[in-house]
Amino acid sequence: MEQLANLCKTVWDWLNGFATYMSTNSILSGTIATLFAAFLIFVFKEYVKKPPNFSGVFEIECKTLNSAYNPYINLISYYTLILICDNNVIEGHIEKTRDIENNGLIREYIGKNRSIGEVSGIIKRNYLRPNHASLNIKINGEKREYTILLYFRKVNTDVMHGKFWSTAADSSGNVKWKRNVF
Protein backbone atom coordinates (compact mmCIF):
# COMPACT_ATOMS: atom_id res chain seq x y z
CA MET A 1 0.00 0.00 0.00
CA GLU A 2 2.87 2.30 0.80
CA GLN A 3 4.40 1.59 -2.64
CA LEU A 4 1.15 2.62 -4.33
CA ALA A 5 1.07 5.83 -2.31
CA ASN A 6 4.70 6.56 -3.28
CA LEU A 7 3.92 5.85 -6.95
CA CYS A 8 0.90 8.18 -6.87
CA LYS A 9 2.98 10.90 -5.20
CA THR A 10 5.72 10.47 -7.84
CA VAL A 11 3.21 10.70 -10.71
CA TRP A 12 1.56 13.71 -9.08
CA ASP A 13 4.92 15.46 -8.64
CA TRP A 14 5.83 14.70 -12.25
CA LEU A 15 2.50 16.05 -13.55
CA ASN A 16 2.90 19.21 -11.43
CA GLY A 17 6.40 19.70 -12.76
CA PHE A 18 5.24 19.13 -16.33
CA ALA A 19 2.34 21.57 -15.89
CA THR A 20 4.74 24.19 -14.46
CA TYR A 21 7.16 23.64 -17.33
CA MET A 22 4.31 23.88 -19.88
CA SER A 23 3.06 27.14 -18.42
CA THR A 24 6.52 28.70 -18.77
CA ASN A 25 7.33 27.27 -22.23
CA SER A 26 4.96 28.90 -24.73
CA ILE A 27 6.36 27.12 -27.83
CA LEU A 28 5.85 23.65 -26.39
CA SER A 29 2.43 24.46 -24.94
CA GLY A 30 1.34 26.01 -28.27
CA THR A 31 2.52 22.92 -30.17
CA ILE A 32 0.67 20.55 -27.84
CA ALA A 33 -2.50 22.68 -28.00
CA THR A 34 -2.32 22.68 -31.82
CA LEU A 35 -1.84 18.91 -31.97
CA PHE A 36 -4.75 18.41 -29.55
CA ALA A 37 -7.01 20.68 -31.65
CA ALA A 38 -6.02 18.82 -34.84
CA PHE A 39 -6.83 15.52 -33.15
CA LEU A 40 -10.25 16.78 -32.06
CA ILE A 41 -11.04 18.03 -35.60
CA PHE A 42 -9.98 14.67 -37.05
CA VAL A 43 -12.19 12.72 -34.62
CA PHE A 44 -15.16 15.01 -35.30
CA LYS A 45 -14.68 14.89 -39.08
CA GLU A 46 -14.18 11.11 -39.36
CA TYR A 47 -16.33 9.69 -36.55
CA VAL A 48 -18.90 12.23 -35.37
CA LYS A 49 -19.85 13.76 -38.75
CA LYS A 50 -18.74 11.07 -41.20
CA PRO A 51 -18.39 11.85 -44.90
CA PRO A 52 -21.40 10.71 -46.94
CA ASN A 53 -20.92 7.68 -49.18
CA PHE A 54 -22.15 8.30 -52.71
CA SER A 55 -20.75 5.09 -54.17
CA GLY A 56 -23.48 3.00 -55.77
CA VAL A 57 -26.54 3.20 -58.00
CA PHE A 58 -28.96 6.10 -57.60
CA GLU A 59 -32.09 7.39 -59.32
CA ILE A 60 -32.97 11.03 -59.92
CA GLU A 61 -36.22 12.65 -60.96
CA CYS A 62 -36.05 16.09 -62.60
CA LYS A 63 -39.28 18.10 -62.88
CA THR A 64 -38.91 21.03 -65.25
CA LEU A 65 -40.54 24.19 -63.91
CA ASN A 66 -38.98 26.78 -66.26
CA SER A 67 -37.91 26.37 -69.88
CA ALA A 68 -37.40 28.36 -73.06
CA TYR A 69 -39.26 25.53 -74.84
CA ASN A 70 -42.85 25.40 -73.49
CA PRO A 71 -43.47 21.64 -74.07
CA TYR A 72 -40.68 20.95 -71.51
CA ILE A 73 -42.54 22.74 -68.70
CA ASN A 74 -43.82 20.12 -66.20
CA LEU A 75 -41.85 17.40 -68.01
CA ILE A 76 -40.55 14.81 -65.56
CA SER A 77 -37.33 13.03 -66.58
CA TYR A 78 -35.79 10.04 -64.80
CA TYR A 79 -32.11 9.09 -64.79
CA THR A 80 -29.99 6.30 -63.33
CA LEU A 81 -26.59 7.28 -61.94
CA ILE A 82 -23.71 4.92 -61.18
CA LEU A 83 -21.27 6.76 -58.95
CA ILE A 84 -17.98 6.33 -57.14
CA CYS A 85 -17.23 8.67 -54.26
CA ASP A 86 -13.74 9.24 -52.89
CA ASN A 87 -14.05 11.42 -49.78
CA ASN A 88 -15.58 14.59 -51.30
CA VAL A 89 -15.09 13.88 -55.04
CA ILE A 90 -17.88 12.18 -57.02
CA GLU A 91 -17.45 10.59 -60.47
CA GLY A 92 -19.59 8.29 -62.55
CA HIS A 93 -21.99 7.76 -65.41
CA ILE A 94 -25.65 8.55 -66.07
CA GLU A 95 -28.38 7.15 -68.32
CA LYS A 96 -31.77 8.70 -69.09
CA THR A 97 -34.41 6.01 -68.46
CA ARG A 98 -37.79 7.70 -69.11
CA ASP A 99 -39.84 10.87 -69.47
CA ILE A 100 -43.38 11.64 -68.37
CA GLU A 101 -44.83 14.38 -70.55
CA ASN A 102 -47.53 16.94 -69.65
CA ASN A 103 -50.29 14.83 -71.20
CA GLY A 104 -49.29 11.79 -69.12
CA LEU A 105 -47.53 10.01 -71.98
CA ILE A 106 -44.67 7.88 -70.62
CA ARG A 107 -41.66 7.49 -72.88
CA GLU A 108 -39.33 4.64 -71.83
CA TYR A 109 -35.72 4.62 -73.04
CA ILE A 110 -34.26 1.13 -73.34
CA GLY A 111 -30.84 -0.09 -74.49
CA LYS A 112 -29.34 1.92 -77.33
CA ASN A 113 -32.11 4.53 -77.10
CA ARG A 114 -30.84 5.79 -73.75
CA SER A 115 -28.94 9.05 -73.60
CA ILE A 116 -25.73 8.48 -71.66
CA GLY A 117 -23.26 10.82 -70.04
CA GLU A 118 -20.59 11.48 -67.47
CA VAL A 119 -20.98 12.80 -63.94
CA SER A 120 -18.49 14.74 -61.86
CA GLY A 121 -19.14 16.50 -58.60
CA ILE A 122 -18.06 17.52 -55.15
CA ILE A 123 -19.39 17.42 -51.63
CA LYS A 124 -18.65 20.51 -49.58
CA ARG A 125 -18.28 19.21 -46.07
CA ASN A 126 -19.29 21.61 -43.32
CA TYR A 127 -18.66 20.95 -39.65
CA LEU A 128 -21.61 22.73 -38.05
CA ARG A 129 -24.03 23.10 -40.97
CA PRO A 130 -25.39 20.49 -43.41
CA ASN A 131 -23.09 19.38 -46.21
CA HIS A 132 -23.75 20.63 -49.78
CA ALA A 133 -23.36 18.65 -53.00
CA SER A 134 -23.01 19.81 -56.61
CA LEU A 135 -22.94 17.52 -59.64
CA ASN A 136 -22.09 18.49 -63.20
CA ILE A 137 -23.56 16.10 -65.78
CA LYS A 138 -22.63 16.05 -69.49
CA ILE A 139 -25.14 14.04 -71.55
CA ASN A 140 -25.02 12.95 -75.18
CA GLY A 141 -28.68 13.59 -76.04
CA GLU A 142 -30.69 12.47 -79.07
CA LYS A 143 -30.05 15.67 -80.99
CA ARG A 144 -27.12 17.31 -79.18
CA GLU A 145 -24.96 17.32 -76.07
CA TYR A 146 -26.26 19.18 -73.07
CA THR A 147 -25.26 19.83 -69.47
CA ILE A 148 -27.20 19.51 -66.24
CA LEU A 149 -26.11 21.00 -62.91
CA LEU A 150 -27.61 19.46 -59.77
CA TYR A 151 -27.39 21.21 -56.42
CA PHE A 152 -28.38 19.75 -53.04
CA ARG A 153 -28.37 21.95 -49.96
CA LYS A 154 -28.62 19.07 -47.45
CA VAL A 155 -26.66 15.93 -48.28
CA ASN A 156 -28.12 12.51 -47.48
CA THR A 157 -27.23 9.36 -49.39
CA ASP A 158 -30.76 7.91 -49.33
CA VAL A 159 -33.20 10.71 -50.25
CA MET A 160 -32.44 14.33 -51.19
CA HIS A 161 -34.27 17.25 -52.74
CA GLY A 162 -32.58 20.00 -54.70
CA LYS A 163 -32.53 22.14 -57.82
CA PHE A 164 -31.31 21.53 -61.36
CA TRP A 165 -30.33 23.76 -64.25
CA SER A 166 -29.90 22.43 -67.79
CA THR A 167 -28.67 23.81 -71.10
CA ALA A 168 -31.39 21.74 -72.83
CA ALA A 169 -33.86 24.55 -73.66
CA ASP A 170 -32.43 26.59 -70.77
CA SER A 171 -34.58 24.60 -68.35
CA SER A 172 -34.56 24.44 -64.57
CA GLY A 173 -36.60 22.92 -61.82
CA ASN A 174 -36.66 20.55 -58.87
CA VAL A 175 -34.74 17.31 -58.52
CA LYS A 176 -35.29 14.32 -56.22
CA TRP A 177 -32.49 11.88 -55.47
CA LYS A 178 -33.07 8.33 -54.23
CA ARG A 179 -31.02 5.21 -53.76
CA ASN A 180 -34.10 3.17 -54.81
CA VAL A 181 -36.03 3.17 -58.09
CA PHE A 182 -38.97 5.61 -58.31
- What is the pLDDT at residue 23? 64
How far from 167 is each of 91, 105, 144, 172, CA to CA, in Å?
20, 23, 10, 9
Please write the tens of the pLDDT for every residue from 134-148: 999 999 988 899 999
Give the 3-state secondary structure percentages of the chain, helix then strand then coil, rounded to 5.
30, 45, 25
Handedness of CA 31, 124, 132, 60 (dihedral sign): negative
Q: pLDDT band for position 25 (50/70/90)?
A: low
Distance CA 59, CA 176 (A): 8
How far from 125 is each of 39, 58, 79, 87, 177, CA to CA, in Å?
18, 20, 25, 10, 19
**pTM for the structure as a whole:** 0.76
Contact 116, 139 (CB under 8 A): yes
Please write the tens of the pLDDT for every residue from 65-80: 999 999 999 999 999 9
Please write the tens of the pLDDT for every residue from 58-111: 999 999 999 999 999 999 999 999 999 988 899 999 999 999 998 889 999 999
Contact 155, 131 (CB under 8 A): yes
Q: pLDDT band for position 171 (50/70/90)?
A: very high
Handedness of CA 133, 136, 140, 145 (dihedral sign): positive
Please write the tens of the pLDDT for every residue from 26-64: 777 788 888 988 998 888 877 887 778 889 999 999 999
Q: pLDDT band for position 22 (50/70/90)?
A: low
Angle made by CA atoms 63, 144, 70, in degrees to the nearest 5: 40
